[in-house]
Amino acid sequence: MSFCKQCGVLDKLDGPTNDPRRRLVEVDDEILLLEAQISKRLEQRQALKRQINAQFSPLLQLPLDLLAEISLAAFPKNNVDAWDDATPLLLGSICRAWRDVAWAMPGLWCTVPLDVFRRYQPSIVFLLQEWLSRSRQLPVSISLDLADPTEPYEDDIMWGIMDVVARCSERWQQVDFNIPNFFEESYCYIPRSFPQLRTLRIHSFPEDFPEIIDIFQHAPVLSEVSLDYYHGILLPTKAILCLALKSVNTQDCLELIKRHPNLTKCAFISISPSVPGAFNNSIKKPGAVEASSLESLNLAFPHKNQHDVPLVLDNLSVPSLQDFGLIINQSTFPKDILVSFVQRSSCQLVRLAIYNNLMVNAAEKQLVELLTILPLLKELKLGEIKYGTHISSKLTCNPNDDPSSTPFLPNLIRLSLTLDVKNKFNFSVLLKMVRSRRYTTRDKAGGCSENKPNRVTQMEAITMWTVNKHSGNSPTEADLAQFQELEDEGMEVSLMVRDRSLSREDKVLWWS
């Protein structure tokens, strides 16, 4: 060993045996020997721990197929929200035995949420490749959100991600892409064949993209589509069962329903008036359209054009319709149009949602006239309608009513109200109504006889939204006590403050 001469240490230790320099060399050699022994013992320790896990861990004694079912239940396919901020990577961090089990189950790796990899930039592309390789040849569900301005991706990383995802397109089963300028810059990465694609969701389209996009026509089993922009995108029309589109015009609505004859669920969000000379000016008004398979329809008309609603509903017939949601922005309630639509369709609505921030108080009576022809209605949502006492009074069950008469909405079990901030709301009238529809055969209802027949279905749930607790539309302490009593007795009661920053389409309407 060489020593520093500047420190007075010689190159060779030829001094006496008690020279501290000689002892230092001996101690260093002993340390190296002990470190080697410790490393060997650590390896033996790890091997013993793996042997103990394999021999005595209760879970690892289970059959592999049962263990796989447990793992898949913890990380269900196509439902990242149920993962509770964990991923299959957690299983691999427990021990080698668990890692071997997790790596051997391709079903664990079939759902790919890109948020999992954000913390690993710039190795995200490699990790994405490894994740997809573990899914082997199974169908995959991929969620890509590359539009977060707070954590932007570098261009080379974004294109690397798109390339990896595109290479497994034949295995796409469900995709949810939120990618800026998707078809302007990413189009070359998108393949042309999607034999297993069932669900397609794409956001962040350019509003002026002029080309015809036909790649999704070659998706024979595609059944659910949600697009923020659809002009020029061709779909396999007969296969589509669920369709949700934003930024459509009134002409588009009828033409698209006609073009997709097997639709069961349809939502057109932000419907605008048809403008001559727009991109789709070749679409002509199809006249009367009957959608015989449609069971759920949601329409949002954010503009104040009084002609938009009748242009769509007056030309539409939906005999199988059960769920109907309507957002309008008009000072008058289109009662006659809606009554005509329901009667012409001969449909049996079970769920109805209506949002209108501009309706005057007189519209509540018109709303009651509409509800009168919907005796099978079970769920009702009213969003920011100037809700007075008329509907509550109509819904209140009176034990002295003629038993032969038909109660108002006899099957109603769920009611949701979003209160208008400008109008004072009478909670006592509402509570009286709720109790009358829960205790019509009990003395607790306030004098009802035990032997009176229950003429309505018992109400199960009520939800109320208010802008904030200081708006003047909040229940008193006595009201809250009664709501709490209803909840204690088994009724589902929700009193919530609504975030005013939500867009109108997201506030209250859409059925899950």
The answer to whether the CB of 236 falls within 8 A of the CB of 222 is yes
**What DSSP line would sit under 409-456, residue for residue?**
STT--EEEEE--TTS---HHHHHHHHHHTT-TTSGGGTS--TTS---S
pLDDT at 259 over 70: yes
Give residue limits of the domains in the chain. Answer: 5-56, 350-512
Of 196-200, 265-269, 502-506, the poorest mean pLDDT is in 502-506
| pLDDT at site 238 | 84
Banded model confidence at residue 187, pLDDT cuts 50, 70, 90: low
Give the architecture-level CATH label for domain 350-512.
Alpha-Beta Horseshoe (3.80)
Residues 419-451 pLDDT 10s? 765 667 778 888 989 988 887 544 444 444 444
When computed from its CA atoms, the radius of gyration of the chain, rounded to whole angstroms, is: 33
The mean pLDDT of 51-78, rounded to a whole number, is 73
DSSP run (H or E) holding 227:
strand 224-227
Q: What is the per-residue pLDDT for 302?
A: 84
pLDDT-derived band of residue 182, with 50, 70 and 90 as boundaries? low
Closest residue by Cα to residue 321 from 462, 461, 511, 456: 511
Average pLDDT, the chain: 77
For position 440, what pLDDT does the model report? 52
Res 168: pLDDT? 87
Could you read off the pLDDT of 117-161 as tens digits, one per residue?
665 566 788 888 888 998 888 999 888 877 766 666 677 777 788
Of 42-51, 354-363, 497-506, the least confident: 497-506
- pLDDT tens sequence across 369-388: 999 999 999 999 987 666 66
Other C-beta atoms closer than 10 Å to the C-beta of 301 total 25
- Reported as type and span, the H/E element at residue 317 is strand 316-317
Give the pLDDT mean for 504-510.
35
Is the pLDDT assigned to residue 1 strictly greater than 50?
no
**Confidence class of residue 295 from pLDDT cuts 50, 70 and 90?**
very high
